[in-house]
Amino acid sequence: MALIGAVSAARAQTPAQDQPAPPPSDLPAAQSAVQGAAQPSLQPGTADAVAERPWTIVPWASLDESVTDNARLLPSPRTGDLITAASAGLGASGRTRRTVGSLEADATYDKYVRATDMDGFLYNVYGNGTAEVLDRYLFVDARSAIDTQSLGPNGPSAAAQHTLPTNQLRVYNNSFSPYLNHDFGTWANAELRYRLSTADFSGADVGQIPAQGLPASLAIPLPGNTVTNEYRAEVKSGQRFTRLRWDLMGDILNTSYIGADRTIGGRTTTLEADYAVIRQVAVVGELGYDTFRDSGIPDGTSNYPSWRTGLRLTPGPRTSLTVLGGQRFGGPYWSGRLEYQISPKLRLSGSHDITVTTEQQQLNTTLNDMVTNPTGQLVNPVTALASSANQQPFAYVSQSYLLQTSQVTLTGDLGRTGVTVDVFNQVRDLGVVNLAQTPVETQQAIGFDGLVTFTLTPAASIHLGVSAARLFDSVPDQGNTAETAGLSYDYKLSPTLTAVLSYRYDLITNQLGTGYQDNIGVVGLRKEF
């Protein structure tokens, strides 16, 4: 019953297109949280200062009636349908001196009037929790994101969250991490962490045939399930260091594919230091060594030293710019990050980076990089909006690849108007583990996403969302163009009863002939108990 997610999670870890946007009354606050309110689940050494909140459980139920002119999302024939979606769920959150966490779970049954073969259940689970086991010393962090995603971008992808006959898979993304934290007075702070992560894909057709009449050779294979063990140690400078700050980190990561004789391992060691020449300018340098090996590809081992140097500029309290250049992964490397506080409630940020990873590791990393908002909900660390860690713009694969990500994001609120705008460019070279190798396939996604929320009254709000993306692929005929626009009006009939009226338009075009157009209107009611 929501409009759309504004920004792809794979690029900025923001809401999936089939996930509800934050309630209208919460959106401006959520966007303001990005300026500093959103923090990791439980900060070591600050438990005494954290305001406690009692644990609350809010059950809810909703009923949506959707009208679509293309229920099966095919280029032709386009068949209209009426979909009844009955949902139930609950939200739970709380914070004590030693624990903080939240859980959001829901289940939906879709009933089609005509396409009865697509009737079925969908469910989502998002949870996280951190516990301080030993005072200021031993912590445990657990996270989970379970939802339905599209197997590939050239197949049907529901404008609203509905069951489809093909191109859907359930993603189980889980993480469990105990870690030790210790302060060596004002000299240094150390953290020793172990993390167990799993990425499981199920509930999908094994292979997706994009449209009727196309050969089975175009099917997309189901990605492999993995278990990852990670060991991480980090020591960084304490308060005693003022002009010179340093950070020494070592990371060992091993991934195993379940049911396959294939392993992926990586090791990274990095020493970073920055020296403030003057208050506004600091010299930054990094030395390190990266190892990555994939037993599933030829020449799948990469061992390279790395170095990067650059500047960190802080011309004022509202601006920070860091640019680094050097060598990494066997070739030229540069990265950058910009933070600019335009106003107290409006922020511009930008970043560029390159890494070697896999689909499964990327999902795990995205989940663990998310932060919690003041209510304990996992959110995007850039936009502070509710997020799905499992969405990404490309087809799910079981290959190693070089991933380059660039993005510029504007987020905040102007009075009663909340704004999120994201421009992104993501490139992945499949089947390689360093810059010296030739990829078996190169994919690039360029696009724009925007979400504007107008809070008309304390009870009423309007959401307007637009997005456009172009997917390029070195494999002929595999690229596509996706355009989306949506409008939603929410009205609180009472403190616990909300009515929603929304419309969304989707257009997918590609050379495969699987593109489609879809118009869908939704009327819904949601009741909290």
Which DSSP string do the residues of 60-73 spell out, in sequence order?
EEEEEEEEES-TT-
Kindly report the CATH number that applies to the domain delimited by 9-177+195-222+345-528.
2.40.160
Residue pLDDT, tens place only, 415-457? 899 999 999 999 999 999 999 899 999 999 999 999 999 999 9
Give the pair of three-digit tokens for residue 398: 């079981």
Quick check: pTM over 0.85?
yes
Indicate if the pLDDT at residue 207 is higher than 50. Answer: yes
Q: Hey, what's the torsion of the CAs at 470, 24, 417, 371, to 10 degrees?
A: -70
If you average pLDDT over every residue of the chain, what do you get? 86
Look at residue 332 in the predicted model and tell me its pLDDT: 95
Indicate if the pLDDT at residue 29 is higher than 90. Answer: no
Round to whole Å and give the CA distance between 86 and 432: 45
Neighbour tally for 315: CB within 10 Å: 11
Percent of all residues in the chain with a pLDDT value above 90, rounded to a whole number: 69
Read off the pLDDT band of 145 (50, 70, 90). very high
Residue pLDDT, tens place only, 319-349? 999 999 999 999 999 999 999 999 999 999 9
Residue pair 162/66 in contact (Cβ under 8 Å)? The answer is yes
Indicate the residue type of 66: S
Q: Hey, what's the torsion of the CAs at 204, 208, 209, 210, to 10 degrees?
A: 100
Indicate the residue type of 519: N
Round to whole Å and give the CA distance between 407 and 11: 8
Look at residue 16 in the predicted model and tell me its pLDDT: 33
Domain ranges in the chain are 9-177+195-222+345-528
